[in-house]
Structure 1
Amino acid sequence: MSSQVRGGTRWKRFAVVMVPSVIATAAVGVGLAQGALAASFSVSGQEFKVSADELVGQNFVQYGSVATGKDLKGKDMAAPVAVSGFSEATITNMCQSVVTPDLPFGLGSITLQLNAGTGKDKVYAKDLYLDVSQLDADAEFKNIDIGVAAGSLKKDRPGSIGIQPGTQANPYGFSQRADEAKLSDVRQQAWATTAGTFKLPDLSLKLHKGVKECY
């Protein structure tokens, strides 16, 4: 079975739909009290943007969780996220950018931009998890299941990676899984990325004065 979704609209809706499954019928604080934490580390107070021509991932899973950390003023923060996971993924022409505003000494905003996979070799990631707040892409899935209880992501799916090790999510909350996901023209905002292996051919990292994001 193959299911295809065109454009970013349904992905945005999906990210919004995920939020109630994380926080149930109460506030984000309840989810935190139950240990529904996304990344296995405290996230920074800055979202970052990622763009790519194409991402092809195997054993795709997606479920809701909460990213926690400190904002740029050191105050506690929590953000609902849709966690996307892949056992393996290749990425073509990847760009990642983050803007740090209001630096002293008259520097203003500075953008850190990273590019990789721009030549013949693609970026490769193993055991990849993305804590996403927004995603726009053309997406195609192979053998997709929608509405799986997050705690059952591995059931009857050899190779499925399930909920990220070292983190927690509501095991009864909404999730989906597929044998393969192919995303084209990717535009993503995220709080965190983790991977067991991350190979970045043709890596280039630059600082730019002002705002120069990937998109």
Structure 2
Amino acid sequence: MVLVPGVAVCAAVGVAMAQGALAASFFISGQQFQVAADRLTARGFSLYGMVDVTRKHELVPVVVSGFRHATLSGLCQSVVVDIPVLGTQTLRLTGGDGRPAEASNLFIDATSESVAEANFGSLDIGVAQGAVTKGPIRPGDRDSRFFDPDGVAQQSLTTTLDDVRVTAVAVSAGTLNVPGLRLRVEHGDHACF
């Protein structure tokens, strides 16, 4: 019974993200989760520092990866939760295996990221955050007290990332279409990586 409300909320968030209905601005839970993709290809990429805020007003420093338009093959998202009496449970969302998932204005707030290989076209490293034009800046971030217009950022016109592994605290998108979306709860730790 303890698990049902949490799973229902996570499922609703997953479905809302898939339908592009989730608002881009929200308090984060503070719980980390994993996002993985076999390949992420994007037009319009940005990378900049930010601070997210939990409902308890705790500050969480993150690196925001922004993609104006992205395709993701072999998408996986997982969150592992310890439930009293039931033990460890994993909520796992997968899709984009046969046909890639597509997203517009995708933002991933990460605490760590790794890729096996990264290819950038028309790359700028060291551009001021306030001068980013090739990739997107999340709506509202420019007005945030944590956004430093003179802070360092990265941008490129095109990006291809292979074997993407991200530990994140938030993901938002203008639209997210996931062919073959599968959502399941599994006993034990079945994280994406």
Band the TM-score falls in, shorter-chain normalisation: 0.7 to 0.9
Q: Does 1:83 align with 2:64?
A: yes
Q: Which residue of 1 aligns with 2:139?
A: 165
SS at match of 2:168: strand
What's the CA shift string for 1:3-38, capped at 9, x where partnerless?
Answer: xxxxxxxxxxxxxxxxxxxxxxxxxxxxxxxxxxxx
Instruction: State the 1:210 CA deviation.
Output: 1.5
TM-score normalised per structure 1: 0.74
Aligned equivalent of 1:150, options 124, 129, 154: 129
Superposed counterparts of 1:7-156, under 5 Å = 40-70=25-55, 75-101=56-82, 103-104=83-84, 106-119=85-98, 121-137=99-115, 138-154=117-133
Q: Which residue of 2 aligns with 1:4?
A: none
Q: Tell me the distance in 2 between the aligned counterparts of 1:166 and 1:190.
A: 19
What's the CA shift string for 1:62-81, capped at 9, x where partnerless?
Answer: 100011104xxxx5422111
TM-score normalised per structure 2: 0.82
Instruction: State the 1:45 CA deviation.
Output: 2.4
Q: Does 1:186 align with 2:164?
A: yes
Instruction: State the 1:59 CA deviation.
Output: 0.7
**What RMSD, in angstroms, separates the aligned Cα atoms of the two structures?**
1.3
Q: Which residue of 2 aligns with 1:205?
A: 183
SS at match of 1:151: helix
Instruction: State the 1:83 CA deviation.
Output: 0.5
What's the CA shift string for 1:113-136, capped at 9, x where partnerless?
Answer: 0001011x1100001111011111
Q: Tell me the distance in 2 between the aligned counterparts of 1:194 and 1:127.
A: 8
Q: What stretches of structure 1 of length at least 5 have no aligned partner?
A: 1-38
SS at match of 1:207: strand
What's the CA shift string for 1:73-123, capped at 9, x where partnerless?
Answer: xx542211110101100000101000112x23x11121100001011x110
Q: Tell me the distance in 2 between the aligned counterparts of 1:129 and 1:186.
A: 14
Q: What stretches of structure 2 of length at least 5 have no aligned partner?
A: 1-23
Over the matched positions of the two proteins, sequence identity in percent amounts to 41
Q: How many residues were matched structurally? A: 165
